Chain A
Amino acid sequence: MSADPTQVLAFETDCHLFDGCGFPAPGLHSFLFEPLLGDADGNGLYFNKPMLLALLGSIIVVGFFWAAFARPKLIPGKLQMVAEAGYDFVRRGIVYETIGKKEGEKYVPFAVSLFFFIWMMNLWSIIPVAAFPVTSIIAYPAILALLVYITWVSLTFKRHGFVGAFKNFTGYDKSLGPVLPLAMTIEFFSNLVVRPFTHAVRLFANMFAGHTLLLLFTIASWYMLNGIGIAYSAVSFVMVIVMTAFELFIQAVQAYVFVLLTCTFIQGALAEHH
C-alpha cells in the first residue's frame, strides 16, 4: 500500500470543486497509516502514527499525574487540585457508585487508568498535528476490553467457584421453568461473547464515526473552496468547529461509558447470584 494514492492527505492535493476531480471522500483508508518504521507487509513488525500516539498519550497521562501526585501536598496546588478532581470523579462517580466503596476500592486504580488512558487516546482526535483518535483503531479498544473481560471473568470464577460462575454467566433462575434452557443459552452467549465485543466496538465505532465526520467536513471545506463553492465551504468549516466541540464531548462520554461498563461487569461478577 506504499503507493496508495488515498494515503495522500486532501490538503496535499490541489483538488477542488469544478477542477474536474472527484471528492476525495474519507473512508477506511483514512484509518490506515504508512508505517513510520518497518513494513506491514513483511514480517508484521512495524511502527505507525497511532502507535506513536498511543505511547505518547500514555506518557502524557503518566506525566500529568506524576506532576500532580508525585509530591502531593496537604493543601493542593492548582494542578494537584485538577488531578484530584479527575481522580475523585472516577473513584466516587463511577467505582463507588457501581461496585460500592468497600469492594470497589481495589478496582479504583484500574478504573482511573482506563478512564484517563481512553480519554487521552480519544483526545488525540482534536489535537492539532496528531488529529487522529487512537481508539478508532479496533486494536486499542479490543485489548482494553480484553483486559476487562479477563478481569471480571476470572473474578467470577474466584468468587463463585465453577458452578456459581456458570450460574452467574447464564443468569440461572429456576422460576423461569421451561424457558430456562433458552434463557440460559441467550444469557451465556450475551454475557460471554457479545458483551466484550460490544464493549470494544462501542468505543471504537464512536471514535471511528466521529473521526470520519470530522474528516468529511474538513475535506469538504477544502474541496469546495473554489468559485461558488466557497459559500458551502464556509458552512462546512462551521460544521468542522461544531463537530470538534461535539467530539470533545463524545470523547469524554465514551471514556466514561467504557469505565462505567467495566465497573458494572465487575459488580456483576462480585454480586451474589440469587
Chain B
Amino acid sequence: MTSALVFLAAEGEKENPLIPPWPEVVIGLIAFVIVFGFLAKKLLPTINKVLEERREAIEGGIEKAEAAQTEAQSVLEQYKAQLAEARHEAARLRQEAQEQGATLIAEMRAEGQRQREEIVAAGHTQIEADRKAASSALRQDVGKLATVLAGKLVGESLEDHARQSRVIDRFLDELEEKAEASR
C-alpha cells in the first residue's frame, strides 16, 4: 500500500496529469484548427446553402400547392355559380313557357268561343231566312192548294161541264202563268 503510494507520488512528480505538456497543446490546437478551418470556411457554408435551397424548394412546393388549391376553389365556385344561374334560367324559362301557354290557351279559347258564336249566329240567320222563305213558299202553296182544293170541291158540285172545264183551264193557265212568272 505504502509502496504503491510512493510509486504514485514518484509518478506524479515525473508527470502531473493536470499539467499539459506544451507540444501536445500545440498539436491539439493544430488538430482542432484543421477541423474548424475546413468546417467553418468550406463545408458548413456549402451545406447551409443547400439546406436553404431545400427549404425554399419545399416552401415553393407548398406555395404551388396552395395556388393550385386556390385556383381549384375559385373554379369550383365559378361552376357552382354557373350551375345556380342555369337552374335559375331554366326555372325562369319554364315559368315563362307556362305563362305563355296559359295565355295561348286563353286566346284560343276566346277565339273558339268567338267562332262558335259566329257560326251559331250565321246558322240562326240562315235558319231564319229559310224559315221565312219556307213560310212564304208554304203560304203561297197552301193558298194555291187551298184554292185548288176549293176549286175542285166547288167544281165537283157543278154539273156544268163546260163551266167546269173552263174553270179548270183557267186554273191551269193561272198555274202555268205563275210557273212562267216564277221562272
Indicate, yes or no, whether A interacts with B.
Answer: yes
Determine the chain B residues whose CB is within 8 A of the CB of A179 once the complex forms.
none
Interface size on A, residues (CB 8 A): 52
Interface residues of B in 9-64 (CB under 8 A from A): 11-12, 14-15, 17-25, 27-32, 34-36, 38-40, 42-44, 46-47, 49-51, 53-54, 57
Of A31, A74, A84, A113, most buried by chain B (CB within 10 Å of CB) is A113
B32 near A74 (CB under 8 angstroms)?
no
What residues of B have a CB within 8 angstroms of the CB of A104 in the complex? none
Residues of the B chain whose Cβ atoms lie less than 8 Å from the Cβ of A134: 28
Contact residue among B15, B22, B25, B42 (Cβ-Cβ distance under 8 Å from A32): B15
Given pairs A27-B7, A28-B17, 8 additional interface contacts (CB within 8 A): A54-B24, A55-B27, A58-B34, A62-B35, A69-B43, A113-B36, A143-B20, A143-B25
Contact B47–A31 (Cβ < 8 Å)? no
Can you report 6 residue pairs joining A to B where beta carbons are below 8 Å apart? A55-B30, A68-B47, A116-B39, A138-B17, A147-B29, A208-B17
Shortest CB distance A75–B (Å)? 8
A133 at the interface (CB under 8 A from B): no
Query: Contact between A51 and B27 (Cβ–Cβ < 8 Å)?
Result: yes
Min distance, Cβ A89 to any Cβ of chain B, angstroms: 14
Query: Closest chain B residue to A51 by CB distance?
Result: B27
In chain B, positions 74-106 with a C-beta closer than 8 Å to chain A are: none
- Interface contact A29-B11, CB-CB below 8 Å: yes
Find A57's partner among B19, B31, B38, B39 (CB 8 Å cutoff).
B31
- Judging by beta carbons under 8 Å apart, are A74 and B50 in contact? yes
Contact A139 B46 (CB under 8 A): no
* Chain A residues engaging chain B, CB cutoff 8 angstroms: 1, 27-29, 31-32, 40, 44-48, 50-51, 54-55, 57-59, 61-62, 65-66, 68-70, 72-74, 83-84, 87, 108-110, 112-114, 116-117, 134, 137-140, 142-144, 147, 201, 204, 208
CB atoms of B35 and A61 under 8 A apart:
yes
B8 at the A interface (CB under 8 A): yes
In contact, A142 and B43 (Cβ under 8 angstroms) = no
- On whether the beta carbons of B46 and A69 are closer than 8 Å, the reply is yes
Select from chain B the residue with minimum beta-carbon distance to A35. B23
Q: How far is the CA of A44 from the CA of B51 in the complex (A)?
A: 46
* Residues of chain A lying within 8 A (CB to CB) of residue B36: 109-110, 113, 117
**Contact assessment for A139 and B25 in the assembled complex, using a CB-CB cutoff below 8 Å:** yes
Chain A proximity of B108: nearest CB distance (Å): 79
In the bound complex, CA of A144 to CA of B24 (Å): 12
Assess A44 versus B20: contact at CB under 8 Å? Given A62-B34, A109-B39.
no
Known: A28-B11, A59-B34. A142 touches B23 (CB 8 A): no
